[in-house]
A and B are shown apart, each in its own frame.
Chain A
Amino acid sequence: MEGKIIVITSGKGGVGKTTATASIGAALALEGKKVAVVDMDIGLRNLDVVMGLENRIVFNIVDAVNGKCQTQQAAIKDRKIDNLFLIPASQSDNKNVITPAAMKKFCVLLRKEFDFVLLDCPAGIEQGFENSVIGADQAIVICTPEVSSVRDADRVIGLLYAKSVQPKLLVNRIVPEMVERGDMLSHEDVVDVLSIDLIGLVPMDESVIVSTNTGAHLIQNNKSKAGQAFRRVALRLNGNADLPIEVPQAKKGFWKKIGFGLSRNK
C-alpha cells in the first residue's frame, strides 16, 4: 500500500510546526508505522535539533531530490524510536534550489518507502510552501489562539483549497485559564472564524521547551499534556478518526473550587 503525505503548515512562523511534526511523527512510528519527517525549511533547518539528530546529518533533502544520493541515504534513523526517520533540510542552499516539479517526483519515491511522510513546511507562502504542498495528500494547519496567527491560517487554508489539498486545524498553545476568563480566543472562536474541521487541541506546556533542550521526544514524556495531545492527533491520522477531541482544562485549585478564586479573575 502507498504511504500518505501530510504537510504541516501555518503561514505564520513560531506557532509550533516543527514540534508538531516531530511529535506526531514519533507517535505514528510508535503505532508501528514506518514514518519519515521531512524538514522543508531549506536554509533554516531545525527539525534535526528538535529531534536530537543534528550530529548525524550526512545527506539532506536537496541531495535526495536532485539525485545526488538515494532516499534511504538521506533518511536518518531516530535514536530512540524504530521506524522513525528524519530527512533534514540543507543549511547552505537557497529555498529555490528545489522546484515544485522535482519535489512532486520525490514525493512519489517517499510514498513507496514510508507509510506516513510528514512535511514540516517553512513559514510564509513562497516557494518553500509550494514545494511542501505540491505532493501532499492532506494538510494540518497549525495556529495559536492569536489574531495574527488565525489570520495567516485563514490565508493558508484558502491556498490549500485552491490546490485541492484538504486541510484540518490544530490549535496549539491554548492557555485554558486565559480562555476561561475571556482573555484568549477559545477553540470554538477559532473554528467559528476559520470554518474548518479540527484534528486536535494542544495546551501550552513548558515541557515542550524542556524536551527540545535535550532533543528528547515530547510524546515519550507521559506527564506532558501537549505530548499526549499530539499523540491523540497521531491516532486520529492513523485510522481512529473518531477519537474525541479533548479540550484543555484549567487546573482547579481548592480555593477556586469553592469560589474564593474569583479575586484572581481580573
Chain B
Amino acid sequence: MIEGWFKKLFGKEKSKESAKKRLKLALVYDKLEVSDELISKLQQDIVDVISKYFIVDKEAIKLDIKRSDNFSSLTLNTPILSARRSPSA
C-alpha cells in the first residue's frame, strides 16, 4: 500500500501509458518507412520532370530522406549543366 502511495507521490507512470506512447511513435515511424524501389521510382519521375527544363547530369542526382525528431524531409541535389532554351513538352 505504501509503495502505491510512493508511486502516486512521485508520479511514476503506469505501464500502459508507456505502452501507448511507444505504440503511437512506432506507428508514426512505420508509416514513414519507404522502400528502395519507391525511392528509385520517385527519383526517375523527378529527373524526367527536371529534364524538361534543364539539362542535368543524371548520374550525379542524389535523393535523400532525412528524419529528425520533429520532421522528415526529402532533399534532392543535382548539378545543372544548362537550361533548355525551348522547354520540350
Binding site for B on A (CB under 8 A): 146-147, 150-151, 154-155, 179, 181-186, 189, 192-193, 262-263, 265-266
Cβ-closest chain A residue relative to B1: A263
Asked if residues A193 and B14 are in contact (CB atoms below 8 Å), the reply is no
Q: Would you mind naming 29 contact pairs between A and B with Cβ atoms under 8 Å apart?
A: A146-B19, A147-B23, A147-B26, A150-B23, A151-B23, A151-B26, A151-B27, A154-B27, A154-B30, A155-B30, A179-B16, A181-B14, A182-B14, A182-B15, A183-B16, A184-B16, A185-B16, A185-B20, A189-B19, A192-B20, A193-B20, A193-B24, A262-B1, A262-B4, A263-B1, A263-B4, A265-B4, A266-B3, A266-B4
Which B1-46 residues sit within 8 Å CB-CB of chain A?
Answer: 1, 3-4, 14-17, 19-20, 22-24, 26-27, 30
**Docked pose: A151 CA to B3 CA in angstroms:** 32
Question: Shortest CB–CB separation between residue A2 and chain B, in angstroms?
Answer: 36
Residues on the A chain within 8 Å of B30, using CB: 151, 154-155
**Docked pose: A179 CA to B22 CA in angstroms:** 17
**Interface size in chain B (residues, C-beta < 8 A):** 15
**Docked pose: A154 CA to B30 CA in angstroms:** 10
Cβ-closest chain B residue relative to A183: B15
Cβ-closest chain B residue relative to A264: B1
Residues on the B chain within 8 Å of A265, using CB: 4
Question: Between A and B, how many residue pairs show CB distances below 8 Å?
Answer: 43
Binding site for A on B (CB under 8 A): 1, 3-4, 14-17, 19-20, 22-24, 26-27, 30
Question: Do A193 and B16 contact each other (CB < 8 Å), given the known contacts A154-B30, A266-B4?
Answer: no
Question: Shortest CB–CB separation between residue B89 and chain A, in angstroms?
Answer: 34
Residues on the A chain within 8 Å of B24, using CB: 193
Other A-B pairs, 19, CB within 8 Å; known A193-B27, A262-B1, A263-B4:
A147-B22, A147-B23, A150-B23, A151-B27, A151-B30, A154-B27, A154-B30, A179-B16, A181-B14, A182-B15, A184-B16, A185-B16, A185-B20, A185-B23, A189-B20, A193-B24, A262-B4, A263-B1, A266-B4
